[in-house]
Amino acid sequence: MTTILVVEDEPEIRRFLRSSLGAEGFRVIESPNARRGAIDAGTHRPDLAIVDLALPDYDGRELIREIREWSPMPIVVLSARHQEQTKIEALDAGADDYITKPFGVGELLARVRVALRHAARSPIGQVLVLGTTKVELDKRRALRDGAEVHLTPIEFRLLGALAKHLGMVVTHRQLLAEVWGPSHVGQTHYLRIYMKQLRDKLEEDPVRPRYLVTETGVGYRLLADEA
Amino acid sequence: MIGYAWAAGAALACTLAGLAMRPRFDLVNVAMVYLFAVVLVAQRYSRGPAILATVLSVAAFDLLFVPPQGAFRIDDMQYLLTFAIMLTIGLVISRLAENVRMRAAEQAKLEAQTQTERLRSALLASVSHDLRTPLAVMCGASSSLAEGGERLSAEERQALARSVYEQAREMSERVAKLLQMTRLETGAISLERDWDSITDVAGAVLARLRGRLASHRVVLELADDLPLVRIDAALIDQALANLLENAAIHTPPGTVVRLRAWRRGQELVVSVEDYGPGLPQGDEERIFAKFEHGVAEGRPGGVGLGLAISRAIVVLHGGRAWAERAPTGGSAFRFTLPLEEQPVVPAEAAA
């Protein structure tokens, strides 16, 4: 049985998380604060953690860092609105995705499923299907309606960095560090230029992207079907 | 301090004028020139400068014009009287002027208070209407589920639950707008600027507002080579979202909403144009005020903060936001963002 740890101080929010996650067949462990959350993460070894960023004892970001020291378990963060910076820091601290309060259960379950699927997946030999476009990352080949599309090495690396976290958000910082190197994490404009190029080559309607999705102020997300 | 400088300057100017006048004019007229200066200083500044102007004037007058020139002869009763009269006039005038100034300040304060009061009552009216309606729906719908759920059909239960969900979403949007306006007004927002593409931001906004814009056809005219802008993307996202939502609310379903952007000199212009009835003449400014709703359509939803928020965000970025008649015949809501020197992206071979 898949176990989910919920670290959240508001009992009413824990209540609906417990019932809706429970109804989906997950076993739910509840922790009302970060200290308890760190202990429960260690003793129950959950498959995924949902962590509220505003906890009464210490910062949710700190808890994420602690968990990351010993576990790659997917972590989905609950954040308030207008907290782009906190969100980004949580993601850079090792969280895999976030959802903004207030949220519907449907959205949350979608995030949880993507994160769990991601944790279970082996990253080798990946083929991405973006509508009528097919990208074979390992062979560095992209086909659009059967015809080969030329992607530059950077474009492939960028797509690969996003594909590693398929369905989940990747921050600007993470993308820049992975594609251009740690000394380029401030050069957000590189991303703007290369993301546009990728969209022009891969999306049917590049100004309304369906697969290479912008998370405004935070990063990008690749939504693709896996072959 | 500046008042004293003016007092001394005025006395000096009068002395020079008096010296120039002296061969052809009477001593009385010279005294009048001094009096004129004292009145001006008293009227413009407070009591101190008025006294200084008087003292300097009488001293200079006595010293330079009253015979014997070059020496004080205050024992001459005549000029003591001149001094007394000048000083009294100076004091009376400065007192009167001070009163007038004080009253004007009070008036301004009162007006500001009235304005705040008006806003506060608008806010209350808005909060009570726009928040209490969804609250009433949530209260009613959720209590019928909680108390008599088993007597309702599955479809009815579903519908009630859905309406609680929708109203809660709506209310959360409204509360967020109220909070955001407060943040913007109190200066509690600092811009997190970074290079961004308006096309990227627009794409994200359209994806998020898909439901709210579903009744309209949104046409994008975003050129391929638009320059990048240094913006707080989360905020510009809100500014743009408010304009698009506004267009969808105020124009008939099925009509087109056009989003365009182009470069004009050192700025980027972003324009949301609709095929609605257009703005009534003279409303182009009013609609950007807080808690204003369009007149013709009553209160179509929202707290009347969308446009005010958009403008505040754009102004924070150093741009402008305004409304005008659109080439489409409807309204155009536009804003500008200042352009900076474009950043360099190294060619791929070098990367």
Report, as an integer, the average pLDDT of A109-120.
90
What pLDDT does residue B91 have? Answer: 81
Q: Which residues of B touch A (CB under 8 A)?
A: 165, 168-169, 172, 176, 179-180, 183, 192, 194-197, 199-207, 220, 222, 228, 232-234, 237, 343, 345, 348, 351
Q: How far apart are CA B308 and CA B246, in angstroms?
A: 12
Q: What's phi and psi for B254, nearest 5 deg?
A: 90, -15
Q: How far apart are CA B201 and CA B236, in angstroms?
A: 8
Give the pLDDT confidence of B310-325 residue by residue, as tens digits: 999 999 999 999 999 8
**Nearest residue on chain A to B203, alpha-carbon basis:** A208
Q: What CATH number has the domain bearing residue B139? A: 1.10.287
| Tally of structural domains, chain A | 2
Q: How would you label A94-105 residue by residue, b for 16+ Cβ within 10 Å and e otherwise?
A: bbbbbbeebeee
* Residue A113 sits in the same domain as residue A142: no
**Nearest residue on chain A to B183, alpha-carbon basis:** A82
- In B, which residues are within 8 Å of A213 by CB distance? 204, 207
| B154-185 vs B77-148: helix crossing angle, rounded to 10 | 160
Q: How far is CA B17 from the centre of its chain?
A: 46
Q: How far apart are CA B129 and CA B126, in angstroms?
A: 5
A150 at interface of B, judged by CB pairs closer than 8 A: no
Q: What CATH number has the domain bearing residue A213? A: 1.10.10.10
For chain B, the average pLDDT equals 84
What pLDDT does residue B180 have? Answer: 86
CB contact under 8 A, A192 and B203: no
* Residue A29 sits in the same domain as residue A79: yes
Helices (H), chain B: 2-21, 27-44, 47-60, 77-148, 154-185, 198-208, 233-250, 306-316
Q: How far apart are CA A15 and CA A23, in angstroms?
A: 12
Flag the least confident range among A168-177, A212-221, B102-111.
B102-111
Does B136 reside within a domain?
Answer: yes
* pLDDT surpasses 90 at B198: yes
Query: Please, which pLDDT band fits residue B297 given cuts at 50, 70 and 90?
Result: very low
Q: Are A138 and A149 a contacting pair, CB within 8 Å?
A: no
What pLDDT does residue A122 have? Answer: 63
N-term to C-term CA, chain B: 63
* Residue B199 sits in the same domain as residue B333: yes
Query: Please, which pLDDT band fits residue B280 given cuts at 50, 70 and 90?
Result: confident
What pLDDT does residue B169 have? Answer: 87
Report the residue from B195, B206, B234 with minimal CB separation from A188: B195
Give the pLDDT confidence of B256-270 residue by residue, as tens digits: 999 999 999 999 999
pLDDT exceeding 90 applies to what percent of chain B? 33
Does B135 reside within a domain?
Answer: yes
* Residue A110 sits in the same domain as residue A133: no
What pLDDT does residue B298 have? Answer: 44
Q: How far apart are CA B155 and CA B254, in angstroms?
A: 29
Take residue B317 and report the two structure tokens written for it. Answer: 């970025």
Report, as an integer, the average pLDDT of B17-32.
81
* Residue A216 sits in the same domain as residue A174: yes
Take residue A203 and report the two structure tokens written for it. Answer: 């999306």
Q: Are A151 and A201 a contacting pair, CB within 8 Å?
A: yes
* pLDDT surpasses 60 at B351: no
Query: Please, which pLDDT band fits residue B75 given cuts at 50, 70 and 90?
Result: low
What pLDDT does residue B244 have? Answer: 95
Q: Are B288 and B308 a contacting pair, CB within 8 Å?
A: yes
Q: Are B240 and B269 a contacting pair, CB within 8 Å?
A: no
Query: Please, which pLDDT band fits residue B46 given cuts at 50, 70 and 90?
Result: confident
Does B17 reside within a domain?
Answer: yes
Q: Are B63 and B83 a contacting pair, CB within 8 Å?
A: no
- In A, which residues are within 8 Å of B258 by CB distance? none
Cβ under 8 Å to B: A residues 195-224: 195-196, 207-209, 213-217
Query: Please, which pLDDT band fits residue A191 given cuts at 50, 70 and 90?
Result: very high
**Nearest residue on chain A to B166, alpha-carbon basis:** A104
Report, as an integer, the average pLDDT of B182-203.
90
Give the pLDDT confidence of B135-144 residue by residue, as tens digits: 888 999 999 8
Query: Please, which pLDDT band fits residue B4 given cuts at 50, 70 and 90?
Result: confident
What is the extent of the structural domain holding A67? 3-120
Take residue A120 and report the two structure tokens written for it. Answer: 């279970």
Report the residue from B197, B204, B207 with minimal CB separation from A196: B197
Report, as an integer, the average pLDDT of B226-253.
94
A82 at interface of B, judged by CB pairs closer than 8 A: yes
The ipTM of this complex is: 0.90
**Nearest residue on chain B to A197, alpha-carbon basis:** B224
What is the extent of the structural domain holding B166? 121-185
Measuring CA to CA, which residue among B290, B261, B284, B271 is closest to residue B332? B271
* Residue B181 sits in the same domain as residue B198: no
Tokens 């927002």 belong to residue:
B189
* Residue B262 sits in the same domain as residue B313: yes
Q: How far apart are CA A222 and CA A167, in angstroms?
A: 5
* pLDDT surpasses 80 at A141: yes
What pLDDT does residue B293 have? Answer: 61
* Residue B198 sits in the same domain as residue B179: no
Does B203 reside within a domain?
Answer: yes
Take residue A153 and report the two structure tokens written for it. Answer: 């090495």
Give the pLDDT confidence of A27-79 residue by residue, as tens digits: 999 999 999 999 999 999 999 999 999 899 988 999 999 999 999 999 999 98
Q: Are B292 and B255 a contacting pair, CB within 8 Å?
A: no
| Tally of structural domains, chain B | 3
Dihedral sign computed on CA atoms, order B278, B283, B287, B293: negative
Task: Identify the top-confidence range among A110-124, A163-177, B41-55, B110-124.
Answer: A163-177
Take residue B40 and report the two structure tokens written for it. Answer: 């001006």
For residue A28, list its beta bridge partners.
A4
CB pairs under 8 A between A and B: 68
Looking at CA atoms only, how far is residue B187 from chain A in angstroms?
14
What pLDDT does residue A215 have? Answer: 93
The reply to whether omega before A102 is within 30° of 0 (cis) is: yes
Query: Please, which pLDDT band fits residue B299 given cuts at 50, 70 and 90?
Result: very low
What pLDDT does residue A123 have? Answer: 60
The neighbour count for residue B222, using CB atoms within 10 Å, is: 17
A189 at interface of B, judged by CB pairs closer than 8 A: yes
- Interior CA angle at B145 toward B142 and B151, to 5°? 155
Report, as an integer, the average pLDDT of A190-200.
95
* pLDDT surpasses 80 at A182: yes
Does B349 reside within a domain?
Answer: no
Q: How far apart are CA A197 and CA A66, in angstroms?
A: 38
Chosen domain end from A60, A89, A120 = A120
Q: What HEC string does B124-164 produce?
A: HHHHHHHHHHHHHHHHHHHHHHHHHHHHCCHHHHHHHHHHH
- Interior CA angle at B214 toward B210 and B219, to 5°? 85
Q: How far is CA B288 from the centre of its chain?
A: 10
* Residue B164 sits in the same domain as residue B41: no
* Residue A110 sits in the same domain as residue A134: no
What pLDDT does residue B304 have? Answer: 75
CB-based contacts of A39, cutoff 8 Å, min separation 6: A31
- In A, which residues are within 8 Å of B348 by CB distance? 152-154
What pLDDT does residue A125 have? Answer: 59
Q: Are B42 and B4 a contacting pair, CB within 8 Å?
A: no
* Residue B265 sits in the same domain as residue B154: no
**For residue A46, which amino acid is it?**
P
Q: How far apart are CA B87 and CA B94, in angstroms?
A: 10
Looking at CA atoms only, how far is residue B48 from chain A in angstroms?
53
What pLDDT does residue B83 have? Answer: 73
What pLDDT does residue A176 have? Answer: 96
* Residue A27 sits in the same domain as residue A93: yes
What pLDDT does residue B296 have? Answer: 43
* pLDDT surpasses 60 at B6: yes
Flag the least confident range among A47-61, B110-124, B336-350.
B110-124
Report, as an integer, the average pLDDT of B220-244.
94
* pLDDT surpasses 80 at A19: yes
Q: How far lies A118's CA from each of A22, A111, A226, B124, B286, in Å?
A: 21, 11, 11, 48, 51
Chosen domain end from A120, A143, A160 = A120
Q: How far apart are CA B275 and CA B332, in angstroms?
A: 9
- In B, which residues are within 8 Å of A192 by CB distance? 195-197, 200, 228
- In B, which residues are within 8 Å of A214 by CB distance? 200-201, 203-204
**For residue B297, which amino acid is it?**
E
- Interior CA angle at B319 toward B318 and B320, to 5°? 135
A187 at interface of B, judged by CB pairs closer than 8 A: yes
* pLDDT surpasses 80 at B62: no
For residue B28, list its beta bridge partners.
none
Query: Please, which pLDDT band fits residue A124 given cuts at 50, 70 and 90?
Result: low
* pTM higher than the cut 0.80: no
* Residue A114 sits in the same domain as residue A139: no
Q: Are B321 and B310 a contacting pair, CB within 8 Å?
A: yes
What pLDDT does residue B349 have? Answer: 63
- B83 or A94, which is more confident? A94
